[in-house]
Amino acid sequence: MQSSTLQEQPRTVFESPFSLEGRAALVTGAGRGIGRAIARRLAAAGASVMVNDLDETMLRETEAELAIPDRVQHVRGDLTDPTTPDAVVKATLDAFGAIDIIVNNAGYSWDNVIQKTTDEQFQAMLDIHLITPFRLLRAASAYIRETAKREIAAGIPVMRKVVNITSIAGTDGNPGQAGYSSGKAGVIGLTKTLAKEWGRYNVNVNAVGFGLIQTRLVQDLNRPDAAMEMHGHHIRLGVQPTLLESVRSACPLGRLGTPEEAAGAVLFFCSPLSDYVTGEVLICSGGLHF
């Protein structure tokens, strides 16, 4: 027989789902793949979203797919140009009057074993995966700091979110990816440092590390369209089918992840569910480690 004390205990009521209504987000590399999926998730949760990419056509496709003209806008720009991060931050503030969420997702791979990797190739990987997030966050810092100070003084603190994208290549290393792995490892250091610097401003700074997600970076290397043009270079993208199959077999879940699954991990760090989580790296890899 249950005691009356136990019977009379109230049930805890959890509010779900959360809403990001009234929040303004900036997502880089949002023209396709994981970046587009992240923008889709944020917009579906109610956020206003500024999407950035190098490819104007793909950005317009993202806008058209989300089909929320008043809450989704785009700003094209090459983030490796030192002037672009400031311009992207300004465009976001001009459009929405605020920045509450920043997702540093832009990136690509340019692989080779170390003896065949040029200085330019190695630097390109650091530029997009580490220096770009640094510059973008530096550009946003004045707004974040001054706005947080006003909110705290008024007794209405607001939690803001930064999510930097890393990789299991950055946490574990990966043959043929000295530059990519170094950039992705570096952004973890940036994440942990900013978590300590910006905690006083009520900013959660975290990272999500992806394994193999179904994007053009892990497509069949032999496909005719498995390439991109970047700063005058024709860069092959993808992996050999035999390697892809062996990695798939080594993954505990036995498959690659989808962009939507990758975006789900990012959404957690963009949501109120992570308000007391900062300086962390969440691995979204299906259990795979290199």
231 φ/ψ sector (left φ>0, alpha ψ -120 to 50, else beta): left
Helix 56-66 / helix 33-44 crossing angle, nearest 10 deg: 30
- Residue 147 CA: distances (Å) to CA of 36, 71, 92, 205: 28, 21, 15, 17
Tell me which residue has tokens 């949760």: 45
Give the span between the Cα atoms of 148 and 188, in whole angstroms.
24
Residues in the chain: 290
Helix 259-270 / helix 33-44 crossing angle, nearest 10 deg: 50
Give the span between the Cα atoms of 73 and 92, in whole angstroms.
9
Asked if 88 and 79 touch (Cβ cutoff 8 Å), the reply is yes
Question: How many CB atoms sit inside 10 A of residue 118's CB?
Answer: 11
Catalytic-role residue among 108, 143, 180, 276 = 180
Of 53, 59, 55, which is closest to residue 29 (Cα–Cα)?
53
Catalytic status, residue 180: yes
Handedness of CA 245, 247, 250, 252 (dihedral sign): negative
Enumerate the active-site residues.
180
